Structures are given as structure tokens and as C-alpha cells.
Chains A and B, each alone.
Chain A
Amino acid sequence: MRINDRVFGMLMLILAVAYGWEATQFPIPFGGNESVGPETFPIMLSIILAISSIYLIVKPDPDEKWAPVPMLLQLLSVAVALLIFAWAIEPVGFIPSAALVVSFISWRMGATVKHSVMTGIVSSIVIFFLFNYVLELALPLGILEL
């Protein structure tokens, strides 16, 4: 099967065209047009990307196998967990959100629930104290703030 490269080449071709078209729409800079403007380099890049995407569509390499759907969902859950951590770090605070995300990833990687929760709690507390008191980089306390 040589689907991966074909699909990816297609996507990149669309990107190249969109990117190049966008470059032609840049507003004219103050002082009028010169021989080279902000659009010159992007247009070159879009041409290069377009050529290499077309090559990929015409001569694709053999596929690397994708993970089965359940595994992809699992990877998605890890990515979402990291996003939730990013969102929660300020309102909720570093320690609880870090403990949660580390426990979750560790559990998804195959640790038992008990061990992963322990890893999460210990590592988040140690890193919090290390950063706040040894390295003096303030991390938000969030709900733990009294």
C-alpha cells in the first residue's frame, strides 16, 4: 500500500497553493512595491513545496503501518490530557493538574493505578518545590492557595 504518501502529498499540495495564494494577497507595504517584497520568499517556498508534493503523489514510498484505531484514540486521549493540563495549570494550580496528567499518562503506558497515582503525586510535588524554592521560578498554586 502506498496511500500515506499520496494523501500526505495531496494535503501538502493544497497547503502549498493556499500558502502561495495568501502570499499574493499581502497588502502593499508602505512606500510602494519594490523588486522584492514580503511575498517573494513565500512564493518561492510554495513552488518548492508544490513540486515535492507532486513528486510524492506520483512516486510514493511504501507505507509505514498506522496504529489500529483503539491505539489512535488512546494517543488522542493523551494529547487531550496534555491540553487539559495546559488549560488547568493557572486556574486549578500546578500540583493538582500535573499530578493528574502524569498519573494518566503513566497509567496509559501500562503502570498499575496505584503506582501511576503515586508517580503523579510525588513527581508533581517534587517538581513544584524544586522550581519554586531551588530554581525560584514561580509556578501557580491555584486552588491550593490559602
Chain B
Amino acid sequence: METMTLLMHGFAVALTPESIMFAIIGAILGTLIGALPGLGPANGVAILIPLAFSLGLSATSSLILLTSVYAGAMYGGRISSILLNIPGDEPAMMTCLDGYPMALKGKAAEALAISAIASFIGSFIATVGLVILAPILAKFALKFGPSEYFALFVLAFATLGGVTGKNQFKTIMAAALGLMIATVGIDISTGVQRYTFNMLELFEGVDFIIAIVGLFAISELFFFIERHAGDGLKQVAINKLKLTAADIIRVLPASVRGGLLGFVAGVLPGAGASLGSFISYSLEKKISDKGEFGKGDPRGVAAPESGNNGAASGALVPMLTLGVPGSGTTAVLLAMLISLNISPGPMLFQQNADLVWGVIAAMFVGNLVLLLLNIPMIGIFVKLLSIPPKYLMPVVTLIASVGIYAVSHSAIDLYFMVAFGVLGYILRKVDIPLVPVILGMLLGPEMEKNLRHALVLSDGDWSVLFNSGLSITLWTISVLGLVLPIVVGPIIRSKMSKSKEV
């Protein structure tokens, strides 16, 4: 019952006119950014962090704004899946399977509306799950000491590739690069300069917000130019919406199942949203054998879409309670928390209870706002999407750079941004994933701090890292997380691509 009281406090924060305004602005901006092919949720939140930061919004307001952007971007991603057959991000891949055929049959508006409803149900179920599970996990996490935390960070990296990860060594390499960037600057505990080359700008280390915008948004610009994608793609025209209550009831069971499965996949380390939407889709296909899956069955839109959104909210559970994000977008949300001087983890629920519950309540409000906005306003979003990228991308790049510039009013930050853009382009060309790099930069300082604490307490005895049952469990999961994908990964990947072909 304590949880209910806290949640009610949260709603008191989330339902002030100011908060609702930020939720609406965030939802609209998020949908727009998520809908741009290739930009996706992680980019959307990344571009807007420096803006929220330099506007001097309060922690609660900026969190509400950015969680709505996050939710909105997840919604927006499906617009390009359905109308263009191009997933905005990887988890949206399964939505293309039945969404695009539906659009081809002249039912684009219905597909969009069904996916909006399914997304809402998925997020709603997962947010309820978050309310129940997060406080329990936070209490449990209080038992963690420095060596357990160190093992937990290792686990975060080991499972990041997920069971569908391709080359584990490349994930490790990316994580090492990110952690190495994080060591640049003055060492907090001894004051020793590390890798600063006596440049004043490097004394405080490399700002991860700049790195995120560079690695994601600027490298995306380069890829757009390289692919000659400036003209945009032909999208399916949108029809007038004819959705009856019976249609909605027909997809309800699929949405509920998808949301539950997605939530579980989102909470578990290494599963993530891609697997969440994949499992939901395949389960739905098995249960209802009479459907025409792959040819535009509404349930084939509802299940993965609700699974995807369920997983996205589920991923917030480990992020908020342990400070360990499980996906690219939650990593970006973690970046936002750290830059607002809020350190996630078990203490967050005790020290900043108002803020956490405010944000959770804001997720409920944000999702409702999105549902209400999306059905009537879908036409406007689709119109904006038909602006070719050759006009849109330069302007988005400009906004991203202005955001970076506005934080510190220094041109040097912009030089760094471009450099990270080039680095991101090269890394993507050699197939090194970018998310572990970001995660390394984010978790590096904490990871090193915990390692040093553990070793100082044990007077340099390294066995301290493996001396409790809990840390041994964490290490075991990490090893499994690294080894399993090599064994199981190819099987699941071939299944996923098979269901895409059918």
C-alpha cells in the first residue's frame, strides 16, 4: 500500500498544468523524431537532452519532457514501419511484417490506429509491472556492496549484445573503447591527470552528451548522404479511418499477451525489445492458426507493437533500480539522469522518491496523451514525414548542434561532436556496435570507483570480487550472457529472418 501512496504523490506531480504541458510537447516532438526513418528513439532523446539542459528546466520537468519524448519516439517508429516498410529501430522490425501488407491493402489508417492502441496497452501493462517490481528490486539492491556492483556492471556489458548479438568480441571491444574514453580527465580520488595531454578542455573528461549526439545523429547524417537517401521513399497513401469497436476487441487479447511478454523480456538482462516483439509475434501466430499472418492480420500488428512497448518500459526497471540500462535508448535516458545529477540505483527510490514516482506517473499520463493525440493527429505526422530528408536532415543536424552549443557556449564542444560523428561512421562501417561505447562512457566512472573501493577494502586482494554468493551469481550470468549468443544466437537469428521472409 505504501507504493500506492507514493504513486498518488507521483500523480500529484505529473498532473500539474506545467507537467501536462511538457508531456504534450514531449509526446509531439518524440513522435516526429521517432517517425523520421533512421533517426529512432535513442537519437531523438539524445538530441533533446542538451536542449532540456540548457533551458534550465527543473529535474522533474526535464524528466517528464524526455520520458514523453521517449514514449513518443516509440510510437513514431511504427509510422515508418507501416507506411514505408522501414523499421525506425530494430524492435520495430516485426511490426513491418503485417503492418505494411495492411497498408498495401488500403488499411494504413487502421493499422496505425491498432498499433497505437496496442502500444498503449503494452506500455500500460509494463508501467504497472514497473510500479510493482521496481521497489522490490530496489530493496534487494541495497544488499549490493562494491564488488557486487562491479560484477553487475560487467553483467550489463556482457548481456548488452543480447541473445541475438552477432560478434561478442566486437561488443567487448566497443565497451572497452567507451570505458577508455571515460578514463580521460582528472582522476577523482587521487587528482592525477589521465590522458589529458595537458589540454584544459580534457581536464573534466569528455562529455557523454556530446559523444551521444555525435555518434548517433551526426554519423546518421553521413549514412543518409552515402545512401543517397535524400529524396525519401515512396510511402503508402493513407486512407480514411474506419475502425469499429469489434476490430479493437479482436486485437485486445493479442495486445495483452504481447505487453506481458514484452515486459518480461524488457526486465531480463540480455533479452531486450527486439526479442520481446519477436516472441509476442510468434506466440500470437501459434495461438491463432486461422489468421492470415504476414498478409496483413491486425493481430500481427498488435502483438509485436505491444510487446515492443512493453519491453521498452520493462527496460526501465533495471535502469532505475540498479543504474544498469539494457538498451540503447535506456542508456540515453541514463545519460539524461546523470547529467541532471541524479544517480539511479537503489538509493534513488529513497532519496528522490518524489521524482521517481513523478516520472512513473508521467509515463501513464504521457501514454494516454499519446493515444489521444495520435489517432486524430496521425494525418499531420504523415504529412510532415513526406518532407524529403534532404531538407529535414540538415535542419535536424542544425538543431542538434545548437543544443550542444547552448550548453556551454563553446565551439570546442562542436568540434568534438563532429569528431565523434566521424568516429561513429567508422565504427558502424566495421560493424562495432555504438551502444556499448556509450554505456562504457556512462558507467565507466562508477565501475572504476566500485572496483577501487572493493580492492582498497580487501587491501589489494582480487579474490574479493568473487567472495559472495551474489557476486558469483552475477559473474556466472555474465559468462552465460557472453557465451550463449555464440551457441543460440545463430538459431534465433535464422528464425527471425525466416519469419520475415514468409
**Chain A residues close to B by CB (< 8 Å):** 4-5, 8, 12, 19, 22-23, 26-27, 29-30, 34-38, 40-42, 45-46, 48-49, 52-53, 55-56, 61, 64, 66-67, 71, 74-75, 78-79, 82-83, 85-87, 89-90, 94, 98, 101-103, 105-106, 108-111, 115-116, 119-120, 123-124, 127, 131, 135, 137, 139
Instruction: Say whether B173 contacts A52, CB under 8 Å.
Output: yes
Closest chain A CB from B436 CB (angstroms): 11
Instruction: Say whether B54 contacts A56, CB under 8 Å.
Output: no
Closest chain B CB from A61 CB (angstroms): 6
Instruction: Say whether A64 contacts B429, CB under 8 Å.
Output: yes
In the assembled complex, B384 has its CB within 8 A of some CB on chain A: no
In the assembled complex, B390 has its CB within 8 A of some CB on chain A: yes
Given contacts A41-B448, A52-B176, A78-B222, contact A106 B391 (CB under 8 A): yes
Instruction: Say whether A52 contacts B172, CB under 8 Å.
Output: yes
Bitwise interface map of B from 389 to 421 toward A, beta carbon under 8 Å scored 1, else 0: 111011101110110011000010011011001
Checking B397, B411, B430, B460 against A105 with a beta-carbon cut-off of 8 angstroms, the contacting residue is B397
Across-interface contacts of B230 in A (CB, < 8 A): 109-111
Which 4 pairs show the lowest CB-CB distances between chains A and B?
Answer: A35-B460, A86-B414, A109-B230, A29-B190
Size of the chain B interface, CB-CB below 8 angstroms: 63
Across-interface contacts of B18 in A (CB, < 8 A): none
Instruction: Say whether B406 contacts A137, CB under 8 Å.
Output: yes
**Complex-state Cα separation, A12 to B426, whole angstroms:** 13
Closest chain A CB from B458 CB (angstroms): 8
In the assembled complex, B491 has its CB within 8 A of some CB on chain A: no
**Complex-state Cα separation, A26 to B195, whole angstroms:** 9
Checking A48, A79, A90, A109 against B411 with a beta-carbon cut-off of 8 angstroms, the contacting residue is A90
Checking B176, B218, B431 against A49 with a beta-carbon cut-off of 8 angstroms, the contacting residue is B176
Across-interface contacts of B225 in A (CB, < 8 A): 71, 74-75, 78, 105, 108-109
Across-interface contacts of B394 in A (CB, < 8 A): 101-103, 105-106, 109, 119-120, 123
Instruction: Say whether A102 contacts B398, CB under 8 Å.
Output: yes
| Residue of A35, A52, A124 with highest tally of chain B CB at under 10 A | A52
Across-interface contacts of B183 in A (CB, < 8 A): 41-42, 45
In the assembled complex, B224 has its CB within 8 A of some CB on chain A: yes
In the assembled complex, B452 has its CB within 8 A of some CB on chain A: yes
**Complex-state Cα separation, A61 to B417, whole angstroms:** 29
Q: A4-B429, A36-B460, A110-B230 are in contact. List 7 more A-B contacts (CB 8 A).
A: A5-B431, A36-B451, A48-B172, A52-B172, A82-B401, A102-B398, A111-B391
Across-interface contacts of B402 in A (CB, < 8 A): 94, 98, 127, 131, 139
Across-interface contacts of A98 in B (CB, < 8 A): 398, 402
In the assembled complex, B21 has its CB within 8 A of some CB on chain A: no
Across-interface contacts of B286 in A (CB, < 8 A): none
Across-interface contacts of A36 in B (CB, < 8 A): 451-452, 455-456, 460
**Complex-state Cα separation, A34 to B179, whole angstroms:** 22
**Complex-state Cα separation, A49 to B183, whole angstroms:** 14
Closest chain A CB from B407 CB (angstroms): 10
Closest chain B CB from A126 CB (angstroms): 9
Instruction: Say whether B430 contacts A41, CB under 8 Å.
Output: no
Closest chain A CB from B377 CB (angstroms): 21
In the assembled complex, B487 has its CB within 8 A of some CB on chain A: no
Closest chain A CB from B90 CB (angstroms): 17
Instruction: Say whether A86 contacts B395, CB under 8 Å.
Output: no
Across-interface contacts of B51 in A (CB, < 8 A): 135
Bitwise interface map of B from 256 to 284 toward A, beta carbon under 8 Å scored 1, else 0: 00000000000000000000000000000
**Complex-state Cα separation, A41 to B51, whole angstroms:** 33
Across-interface contacts of A82 in B (CB, < 8 A): 218, 397, 401, 414, 417-418, 421
Across-interface contacts of A116 in B (CB, < 8 A): 390
In the assembled complex, B425 has its CB within 8 A of some CB on chain A: yes
Across-interface contacts of B401 in A (CB, < 8 A): 82, 85-86
In the assembled complex, B495 has its CB within 8 A of some CB on chain A: no
Closest chain B CB from A98 CB (angstroms): 6
Closest chain A CB from B11 CB (angstroms): 28
In the assembled complex, B287 has its CB within 8 A of some CB on chain A: no
Write the chain B residue with the least CB distance to A28: B192
**Complex-state Cα separation, A119 to B195, whole angstroms:** 42
